[in-house]
Amino acid sequence: MNTAQISPSAPLTGLAQPLAITMWDFSWLERRWPGAGYEDWGRALDELAERGYNAVRIDAFPHLLDAAPDKDWDLEVLWTVQDWGSPAPTRVRVWPALPEFIRACRARGIRVALSTWFRKDTTDTRMSIRTPLDMARIWTSTLKMLQKEGLLDDLLYVDLCNEWPGLHWAPFFQNDPPELTWGGWHTRTSLDYMRESIALVREAFPKVPLTYSFNPENPQAAASDLSFLDFFEPHIWMVNAHGYSFNPKVGYGFELTDPRGYHNIQKNAERVYRQDAAHWNRGLIDLINTYAEVGRTHGRALITTECWGIIDYKDWPLLDWGWVKETCELGTLTAAATGRWAAIATSNFCGPQFHGMWRDIAWHQRLTSVIKSASLPLCGVHQVEDSHRNESPVTDHTL
């Protein structure tokens, strides 16, 4: 199979340049108490546009919309130590919040990518998603609702499940073998589930680009037939380079409710990085270039919304943002230089709740300018003319 010759069923459309994208996950709806960052969508989106971003990826909560669109849903706590979403029980109503948010994005020229982390409510509605048909049903239902509101053209793409089949995000799916959760997307059982669910959604909405996001382990990515994905969304971090060896050196184990993980980040993370920055930076560069080659081999554009340095961080005592911004800048510039990305994030901390990262407006503007002046991959992207661009015509010498 010559995968480089495969054309996606639904190319990313209307792009004159790569998009500068951010991930607002479920925070856009959950973090609406005073001071949480998203209580005023207009202000948050104005600040996003000021920093140069023109795309945002959010949780559409499709399982809740399908079950009862106008219901008040009580959500359980996923974690208490992170600043994504709510650290306490909270209540949300997804509709009409979702179309209202998309319209606010439209008014500012910001494209919207839909994804889901399948947040757990008190009745655990997500556990009813047993089959690919169930997955397709909830997304088709969501898209039909948005279609009635005239909002489909505002969508950049749909990611049917964040980091499939991670245990936190897809607990309803049992892989074969069952221990393959995080990073286990490449099994036959998983590929069949993704392929069938995407085919069903594509049948109903053939013009909406579809994918599942994951961190592609490259040997499996290169060997598998991934032609059913319209593009790839890898999540790439420096801490996953060199055999995932950074976090063990730091003593961080992704603790959800125990602050000792962050205590070890305080004590060790920047020191471990600074002691051998060239080693860790080289690992990040190699990961990005390898993923770029996977996209090239399969003839797919790439989009990355979660990246580039450390995975978990926040505003806290003894946690400096300087070294985090250094690694995120390196990742952003490296990805932009490959010409394989259709949308690039600067980090997974690009939201108003991460004050130390958010307040450096000039840093964001500088990197978003680089992103939007990079070359687009020609395969899988429908471009539009932009008379305001001064750059030379987009070329791609790799296909």
For domain 3-383, give the fold: TIM Barrel (3.20.20)
pTM: 0.93
Amino acid 344: pLDDT: 98
Q: Which residue type, as a one-letter code, is found at position 129?
A: I
CA distance 248 to 241: 12
Tell me the angle at which helices 132-148 and 97-106 cross, rounded to the nearest 10 degrees: 60
Query: Cα angle vertex 110, ends 73, 300, to 5°?
Result: 95
So where are the chain's domains? 3-383
Contact in structure between 62 and 29 (CB atoms under 8 Å): no
Token couple for 9:
């069923």
- pLDDT in the model for residue 391: 34
For residues 23 and 163, is the Cβ–Cβ distance under 8 A? no
Average pLDDT over residues 12-36: 96
C-alpha 28/C-alpha 379 separation (Å) is: 32
Q: What is the mean pLDDT of residues 302-325?
A: 98
pLDDT at 222: 79
Q: Residue 399: pLDDT above 60?
A: no
Fill in the DSSP letter of residue 27: H
State how far the Cα of 280 lies from the Cα of 266, in Å rounded to an integer: 18
Beta strands in 199-353 (DSSP E): 210-211, 213-214, 233-234, 302-304, 341-344
In this prediction, residue 309 carries a pLDDT of 98
When pLDDT is cut at 50, 70 and 90, the band that residue 231 belongs to is: very high
Tell me what the pLDDT averaged over the chain comes to: 93
**Half-sphere exposure at residue 201, Cβ-oriented, CA atoms within 13 angstroms:** 33
DSSP letter at 331? H
* pLDDT exceeds cutoff 80 at 216: no
State the DSSP H helix or E strand holding residue 155, giving kind and residue range, or none if neither.
strand 155-159
Confidence of residue 321 (pLDDT cuts 50, 70, 90): very high
168-171, long-range: CB within 8 Å, 24+ apart, which pairs?
168/78, 168/117, 169/116, 169/117, 169/118, 170/118, 171/118, 171/126, 171/127
Give the pair of three-digit tokens for residue 160: 């049917």
Residue among 153, 114, 58, 104 nearest 350 (CA): 58
Find out whether 347 and 294 touch, Cβ atoms under 8 Å. no
Locus of tokens 């219901």 = 71
Q: List, for residues 107-118, the tens digit of each pLDDT value.
A: 999 999 999 999
Tell me the pLDDT band of 313, cut-offs 50, 70 and 90: very high
In this prediction, residue 9 carries a pLDDT of 62
- Contact of 196 with 135, CB cutoff 8 Å: no
| DSSP string covering 60-75 | --HHHHHH-TT--EEE
Residues β-bridged to residue 157: 113
> What pLDDT digit, counting tens, does each position of 44-74 carry?
999 999 999 999 999 999 999 999 999 999 9
Q: Rounded CA gap, 312 and 261, in Å?
A: 10
pLDDT above 70 (res 307)? yes
| Closest among 120, 310, 290 to 222, alpha carbons compared | 290
Confidence at residue 394, expressed as pLDDT on a 0 to 100 scale = 29
